[in-house]
A and B are shown apart, each in its own frame.
Chain A
């Protein structure tokens, strides 16, 4: 039996968004690129997202948000991830995040922000290049 490592990704939707079309498109694209994608549905609290990432032992988290609440929710999520010791997980974000907020998000530890219309190939490439190395 060979060692068989798969990239595990959590696609999470924090807050009160009413649809998850974008998140599902990204989830689907990453799946088709050979990754194992955990999707948890709409309206997740920061606590649920961090705990899910912990239990599922994911390599990467993609946060999708449309509501404009990223400035409140993302710091909370990043803080909880740190508290749970998940500092080696790569976090990226997508959805509606205004250009002027991107810098602030990156300071929180969110590695990349993808706006509307980003080709899924770019997200796949990004994930493949930024999966944390693990022993």
Chain B
């Protein structure tokens, strides 16, 4: 057996060290990453993948801790991937989501991994999707992804998760403005956390008011739930809704949803391959460096320079 096969085998048998190593291999985009993902891929698709997104400070980590406990009480095993931002200036990251989940760390039915976004846009990391596959292949019943504290356009999570929970809390400022923009549309379930605060009902009503503006006929109407993550209040009800959503997906929506996801993943993979192979070729040409200089000197704009380079490259490819 090669090393990659051994690692994949370890993942499939649920061995913790192998799961951890496999995620590192994927994160670092090590040479064996591709082979690893393709060998575990046939064993994925069994877990239910839940995404948690929403503004920083809404209580995502604390809520996830309570949800994991509830799933454990129901006899389910759980994997968590918690994403925090990488500093665009230093490349480093402070990963603190575990602080709220540490009591779960010694439960053998739970695997938690902190992940830095490594400047991937959209609230997750490039490796998140494949890390989820590792946990899925390792036999976790539920895989939870926590995005970075999201604002308006962190919608990548829909490409990863089957059920997206958008978490809010009263008093976070202009939160309703923020959710109107992007993450409003991706929510399968809304949660107003810290619901023991006095203006919680107003936040619930604000969200419902926006939802009513959406008059498309859909099989699933996103419910708005209240939770208090600190005490666990509302958590069983949230899990019930997640389960309802999962059943609906299973009944029919799933096919459509998973085709869309598969297509998006395929396009993503093609983009990555095309960009890196084309770029590699272009960089070898002296013209590339020359055009960079011309852009700096304002002699040509970047779009025209790209066109000039690509015209030649595409012609070469045709020939």
A residues engaging B (CB < 8 A)?
1-6, 8, 27-28, 30-41, 44-45, 47-48, 51-52, 54-57, 84-85
Contact = CB atoms under 8 A, between A and B. Distances in A.
Given A4-B29, A56-B20, A56-B113, A33 B96 contact: no
A84 to B, nearest CB: 7
A31 B92 contact: yes
B167 interface: no
Given A1-B272, A28-B94, A38-B98, A55 B20 contact: yes
B112 interface: yes
A26 to B, nearest CB: 11
Nearest to A30: B92
Given A3-B29, A5-B28, A37-B92, A54 B20 contact: yes
A30 B20 CA distance: 22
Interface residues of B, number: 35
A83 to B, nearest CB: 12
B210 interface: no
B114 interface: yes
B276 A1 contact: yes
B90 interface: yes
Contacts of A1: 29, 272, 276
B40 interface: no
A37 B276 CA distance: 29
Contacts of A37: 92-95
A11 to B, nearest CB: 9
Contacts of A55: 16, 19-20, 105, 111-113
A48 B99 CA distance: 11
Which of A33, A37, A44 has the largest number of chain B CB atoms within 10 A?
A37
A47 B106 contact: yes
A45 B86 CA distance: 28
30 contacts: A3-B29, A4-B27, A4-B28, A4-B118, A5-B30, A6-B116, A27-B94, A30-B92, A31-B87, A31-B94, A33-B92, A35-B92, A36-B93, A38-B95, A38-B114, A39-B94, A39-B99, A40-B99, A41-B98, A41-B99, A41-B102, A44-B102, A45-B106, A47-B106, A51-B106, A54-B20, A55-B16, A55-B20, A55-B112, A56-B20
Contacts of B21: 57
Closest 8 CB pairs of A and B: A31-B92, A57-B20, A41-B99, A34-B91, A57-B24, A34-B92, A38-B95, A36-B93
A84 B90 contact: no
Interface of B: 16-17, 19-21, 23-24, 27-31, 86-87, 90-96, 98-99, 102-103, 105-106, 111-114, 116, 118, 272, 276
Given A39-B98, A41-B98, 9 more contacts: A1-B29, A31-B87, A33-B90, A37-B95, A40-B98, A40-B105, A41-B99, A55-B111, A55-B112
A54 B114 CA distance: 12
A84 B17 contact: yes
Contacts of B24: 8, 57
A52 B17 contact: no
B92 A3 contact: no
A6 B28 contact: yes
Which of B27, B90, B102 has the largest number of chain A CB atoms within 10 A?
B102
A105 to B, nearest CB: 24
A84 B19 CA distance: 14
Contacts of B94: 27-28, 31, 37, 39
A98 B139 CA distance: 46
Given A37-B92, A40-B98, A54 B16 contact: yes
A83 B112 CA distance: 20
B105 A3 contact: no
Nearest to B116: A36
Contacts of B118: 4, 6
A85 B19 CA distance: 14
B57 to A, nearest CB: 17
A2 B275 CA distance: 12
